[in-house]
């Protein structure tokens, strides 16, 4: 039997105006019960799915969205096909009101197709929603998105930004793992993914421990919570999270932001570059480069380049936008030779 996930640390009694750095810069997940309980969207959802649907339609302005549609046989789990050269769902571009119509059509049915609208910018498809349902993130430049669907399962994945996920209709179950569990989650391809991020290949409903034995070790470190309308979850950068939507209509609003300067590139580009230029070196050379990365990147501090005159430190000096643009131009020139 797999170990049971431990509960996520819970904090109650907060409103959106109360979010300070102790919450928004936390390095551990936090369950914020009732954070958005005063939102009109939440009040509508607590009334009924039909009321939540009607509330969303108030803001709709003929917008199209990216949706994922799967047959009832996938049991809500968006994943790869059997050959892992494609997926078990169809991506479509469709009007949001048509998605809401389909969700309403199958509401209450035992057999439902999997319907999911992911990561859609709120101001693009529901302008004015934020005026009635505000969130104070202390001046952070956050991307606000909405996620709408029925009973679906999103495989464990990580996001680079910090994430405040607010359940505003339906229920969602989150299972989280610290970044150090990557080896025990059996991650799939990096460059062919269902929605942009690499995912765990483990089916959380039916984990195959013969194929994925170390998943039991991951579960020893797992944290979990079930959220109702009005609850929110802070997910720190790089934490793996598996999400199950449990109702016929589930709506989540989330906010993403990075704690790094805008000029910084995504670290995934560095990983992909290292895969093609470092990973397949002879073992001793790889160890040498591991030491260089440790020295110049992972354990770099003020002493790393202190022996070089300040004016001569160049790429070893503190980064800024101009330095990053110069380095990027040099890398592009080298890679295009």
DSSP string, 267-321: HHHHHHHHHHHTTTS-HHHHHHHHHHHIIIIIT--TTTTTTS-GGG-GGGSPP-H
pLDDT, residue 334, reads 87
- The answer to the question of residue 219 being in a domain is yes
- What's the structural domain count of the chain? 2
Model pLDDT for residues 19-52, shown as the tens digit of each residue: 999 999 999 999 999 999 999 999 999 999 999 9
Same domain for 213 and 296, yes or no, is no
Q: Give residues with Cβ within 8 angstroms of 324, minimum separation 6.
A: 263, 264, 265
Same domain for 189 and 295, yes or no, is no
Confidence check: pLDDT of 237 > 80: yes
Confidence check: pLDDT of 337 > 90: no
Same domain for 235 and 282, yes or no, is no
Same domain for 282 and 239, yes or no, is no
Same domain for 15 and 163, yes or no, is yes
Same domain for 65 and 203, yes or no, is yes
Same domain for 148 and 294, yes or no, is no
User: Which of helix, strand or coil describes residue 217?
Assistant: helix
Total residues belonging to the chain: 337
- Is residue 335 very low, low, confident or very high in pLDDT (cuts 50, 70, 90)? confident
Range of the domain at 55: 6-257
| pTM flag (> 0.85) | yes
């Amino acid at each position: 039997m797999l170990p049971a996930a431990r509960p996520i640390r819970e904090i109650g009694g907060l409103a959106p105006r109360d979010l300070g750095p102790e919450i928004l810069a936390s390095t551990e997940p936090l369950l914020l019960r009732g954070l958005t309980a005063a939102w009109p969207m939440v009040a509508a959802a607590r009334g009924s799915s039909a009321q939540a649907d009607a509330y969303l339609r108030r803001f709709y302005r003929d917008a199209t969205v990216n949706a994922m549609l799967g047959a009832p046989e996938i049991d809500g789990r968006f994943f790869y096909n059997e050959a892992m050269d494609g997926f078990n769902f169809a991506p479509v571009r469709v009007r949001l009101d048509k998605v809401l119509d389909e969700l309403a059509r199958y509401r209450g049915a035992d057999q439902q197709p999997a319907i999911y609208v992911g990561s859609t910018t709120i101001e693009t498809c529901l302008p004015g929603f934020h005026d009635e349902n505000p969130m104070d993130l202390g001046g952070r430049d956050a991307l606000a998105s909405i996620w709408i669907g029925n009973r679906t399962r999103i495989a464990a994945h990580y996001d680079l930004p910090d994430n405040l996920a607010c359940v505003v209709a339906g229920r969602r179950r989150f299972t989280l793992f610290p970044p150090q569990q990557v080896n025990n989650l059996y991650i799939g391809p990096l460059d062919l993914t269902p929605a942009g991020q690499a995912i765990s290949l483990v089916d959380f409903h039916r984990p195959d421990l013969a194929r994925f034995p170390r998943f039991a070790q991951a579960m020893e470190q797992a944290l979990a919570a079930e959220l109702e309308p009005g609850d929110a979850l802070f997910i720190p950068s790089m934490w793996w999270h598996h999400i199950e939507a449990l109702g016929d209509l589930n709506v989540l609003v989330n906010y993403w932001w990075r704690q790094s300067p805008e000029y910084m590139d995504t670290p995934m580009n560095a990983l992909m570059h290292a895969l093609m230029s470092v990973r397949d070196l002879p073992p001793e050379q790889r160890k040498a480069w591991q030491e260089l990365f440790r020295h110049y990147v992972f354990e770099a501090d003020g002493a790393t380049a202190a022996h070089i005159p300040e004016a001569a430190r160049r790429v070893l000096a503190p980064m800024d936008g101009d330095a990053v643009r110069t380095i990027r131009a040099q890398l592009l020139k080298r890679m295009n030779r």
